Structure 1
């Protein structure tokens, strides 16, 4: 049997882990932040996000999983019995090997989706910060450690295309905090799945959920969100899910949402602009 054939089972396991990570898609989460998008009738826009971004795979675990022995049974009667010292030692060895293999496959699967960034390398955060500073809009990117980035992102342009934030060069994918969809009839839909509850489209599942829960506790990383999101427009507000509706503001209307663990639904709005 060739060396390549020996590697196939591991590669399949890695591919499965990568698909689980892809399905979960919760790589980034907001921390403390303020964010706003301005939409004008002429379809010009300006977006800003200031504050913290959390990269879940880089966050350190605050708890160590404890070994819990399995029960032992008599081979003939199948009745439960006290495990011998050797049996307990073997169980712990098997558990440690399985845990180490899972951590290895999880880390390699994450690396596949993080543009080659190794989440087990403590320098990876600084490496990502350097990459982001090269991208347009990232006026400030400072890595604070433990998966936390302090950023100031601002960009403006014309809504003749859709807009998503954040995006990372070299990453096959990342979960969006905000999505703006420009329609041909002049309406614009704003969705902010990254500012919604865990049960929304940005929720964790599968492997990434386990990684995140090991990091931040059973509530997951979205419990760390503490901020606000707003939409300002001089267009016509057709729909929104704010608590109090559109408020009058100088030159237009302002929609605002508080984002925290008690947020009931991800912010969404529909605005009519010119064609």
Structure 2
């Protein structure tokens, strides 16, 4: 679980470039939870960085002249952060150089087996971690930027239950990041969503929202959610662990 804290600094740079947000693109992700609380998580695929400036979300330049009586577009307040890594590309303002610096920083963090910048604010990520569920798990998260937008969250509920929810693996997650659900970057991110999220477990499945249900496997049960731009419901399941 310490690996989560170690990636916070690197993700801070990604989240704070022009107050950007991160969303999934094409991906394959898996989460294995054992009844004895052992877990393993992996994410391999794209992460998209979206500009949250008013122009980035709405396509409207906030500095453009407004006609009398015309309503102003909603705006975002800048996100303040104190990142440990320097993502300024030696003081240069070049956006591409900053993105390359972030990819290099992520690749040095525990859990990131590789992190490459592909251009157009798109990163290719290969991440994997494992541990024990003695407290909540989030991926990705950033504490320095005072913002948490998890693709996947595992929450402990009581002494013997965990709830898994993957809000990032639903189109509504991407669209909701824009002000008032407006178009722009949020719609573009939603259209890029394409992947699978696989949950495997030997714990008791109390509830889940995949309509085809769980499949029996030699190691327990398996639930597969196919994620597309039409996916409106985030993958979700509640498990009962061993006492």
TM category, shorter? 0.7 to 0.9
Matched residue count? 213
Relative to 1, partners in 2 of residues 1:171 and 1:128: Cα closer, same or farther, differing over 3 Å? farther
Q: CA RMSD in A?
A: 3.7
TM-score when scaled to structure 1? 0.66
Does 1:274 find its partner at 2:242? yes
Q: Conserved in 1, the CA contact under 8 Å of 2:23 and 2:48?
A: yes
The structure richer in helix per residue is 1
Once residues 35 and 243 of structure 1 are traced to their aligned partners in structure 2, the CA distance between those partners, rounded to angstroms, is 19
In the alignment, structure 1 residue 94 sits paired with structure 2 residue 88:
no
Residue equivalent to 2:28: 34
Q: Max radius of gyration: which structure? A: 1
**Counterparts of 1:1-275 in structure 2 under 5 Å?**
27-57=21-51, 94=65, 109-110=78-79, 112=80, 115=83, 121-168=95-142, 170-198=144-172, 200=173, 203-206=176-179, 213-215=183-185, 219-275=187-243
Could you say if the C-alpha distance between residues 174 and 131 of structure 1 is closer, same or farther in structure 2, counting changes exceeding 3 Å?
Answer: farther
Shift of 1:114: 8.5
Contact 2:23 2:174 in 1 (8 A): no
Q: Which runs of 5+ in 2 are unaligned?
A: 1-14, 67-72
Deviation at 1:196, TM superposition (A): 1.5
Unaligned runs of 5+ in 1: 1-20, 67-91, 96-101
Q: Structure 1 CA distance, aligned partners of 2:31 and 2:189?
A: 24
Note the C-alpha offset of 1:147.
0.9
Give the whole-Å Cα distance in 1 for the aligned partners of 2:125 and 2:240: 31
